[in-house]
Structure 1
Amino acid sequence: MLILASASPRRRELLDQIGVAWRAHPVDVDETPQAGESPADFARRMAAAKAWAGYESAPSPLPVLGADTVVSLDGDILGKPRDREDAMAMLGRLSGRSHTVLSAVALIHQGICHQALSTTRVCFRVLSPDDMSAYWASGEPTDKAGAYGIQGLGALFVAHIEGSYSGVVGLPLFETGELLHRCGLKSGIDNQT
């Protein structure tokens, strides 16, 4: 059993997928990038900040898992869109290009923070203005980094990926499993033996 320092239903589903028992304990941290901070450093810092916030406020001494997913293009961090105009601008930038999705995970176990980072290259097909407008109207991009979700309708825009599908969704399962194993914690596969 661990504490998941997140309100994300996608992260909950991914932990369920690998047979990890969890208890949600959403946290609120300032997600403002620091001046000159790289997208990878930002993702790692946010994952650790969420894990520490959960660790310090959780009602039980269980291990705490925090994660953060960043969409990066040309060195810029594309966060959650502020509004329709912002989403259209992001999708327009992603159209017909490859971008990077960095998904960091932090696990605090016995007062020590263990971290891992997944890097995935995602290639979008060319998007028409109608594609982008219809996608915005679906409501899906409003709370997604980069204004899209690969696990939903946004999959129609993804020509291919190189890396971790689960990392693009929001929790890189390979890296998460490695951290659990390193800390002596069990996942679903460990329960099969």
Structure 2
Amino acid sequence: MKPSAQKIYLASKSPRRRELLRQIGIEFELLMLRDQTPRGPEVSEAVLPNEQAEDYVARVTLEKALFAKQTMEWRKLPLRPILAADTTVVLDGRILGKPADEAEAIAMMQSLSGRTHQVLTHVVVLHGDKTYRTTQRSDVAFAALPDALIRNYCATAEPYDKAGGYGIQGQAALFIMDIAGSYSGIMGLPLYETGQLLKQAGLQIL
């Protein structure tokens, strides 16, 4: 068992990020941001006008980490490193968010069919007055998908809580011909890069 000083706060609701942190033996407590408050989400994921994908994913991740740090201080929680991450899917420079409905999910899958797109995951670790951060990029090649297959997939629950309408660890793995980059990064937390940031923040990894 690691001492409490070796624990971190995870500012994310993603069960995939929890799974990945457990995979590398990182102990964490959740410090999640709320999507619904009287004033709206605590951190908006709306894209700013003319905002590039790399700038967008970095900005949103840092805002999540900083809000979690404020929460830690407001609640007088034990001071620990805070990890936040955000993942976005990009096709031809266009950010593909989480589909709102079946029609949008179908349109996303049709646009990805037979194409190579990018998955960007930005990771931020805050510890004391230090900020450690990086962006990991992967290229993902989809096979050409028949419309019937797309519609069958979009009739499941899988596309609707994931950027780009798919998760590499789910049924959409059937669509992926090739990846260049980080499998865990496509899932939502690139483990090599995350481990390096946590080491820089003073955590013992293995």
- TM-score by length of structure 2 reads 0.89
1:73 paired to 2:68: no
Unpaired runs of 5+ residues, structure 2, are 1-6, 34-41
Matched with 1:127 is: 145
The 5-angstrom pairing of residues 87-126 of structure 1 reads 87-126=105-144
Q: What is the aligned partner in structure 2 of residue 14 from structure 1?
A: 20
Aligned letter for 1:29?
A: V
> Within 2, Cα distance between the matches of 1:85 and 1:137?
10
Larger mean Cα displacement after TM superposition, 44-53 or 91-100: 44-53
How far apart, CA to CA, are the structure 2 residues paired with 1:115 and 1:35? 24
Partner of 2:179: 161
Structure number with bigger Rg: 2
Query: When the two structures are aligned, how many residues end up with a matched partner?
Result: 188
Residue in structure 1 matched with residue 156 of structure 2 by the alignment:
138
Q: Distance in 2 between matches of 1:184 and 1:161?
A: 32
Q: CA offsets, 1:86-124, max 9 Å, x none? A: 101111000000000000000001122210110000000
Equivalence for 2:69 = 55
Which among 33, 36, 41 is matched to residue 55 of structure 2? Answer: 41
Give the match's secondary structure for 1:35: coil
Letter in 2 for 1:135: Y
Q: Aligned partners of 2:175, 2:78: CA distance in 1, in Å?
A: 42
**Identity value in percent:** 45
Partner of 2:37: none
| Shift of residue 184, structure 1, vs aligned partner | 1.3
Q: Does 1:179 align with 2:197?
A: yes
1:20 is matched by which residue type in structure 2?
I
Contact 2:102 2:155 in 1 (8 A): no
Residue 182 of structure 1, CA deviation? 1.1
Unaligned runs of 5+ in 1: none
User: Post-superposition shift, 1:171?
Assistant: 0.5
Aligned-partner Cα distance in 1 for 2:180–2:8: 30
CA RMSD of aligned residues (A): 0.9
Q: SS at the partner of 1:47? A: helix
Q: Distance in 1 between matches of 2:93 and 2:182?
A: 20
Q: Which of 166, 172, 185 is matched with 1:148 structurally? A: 166
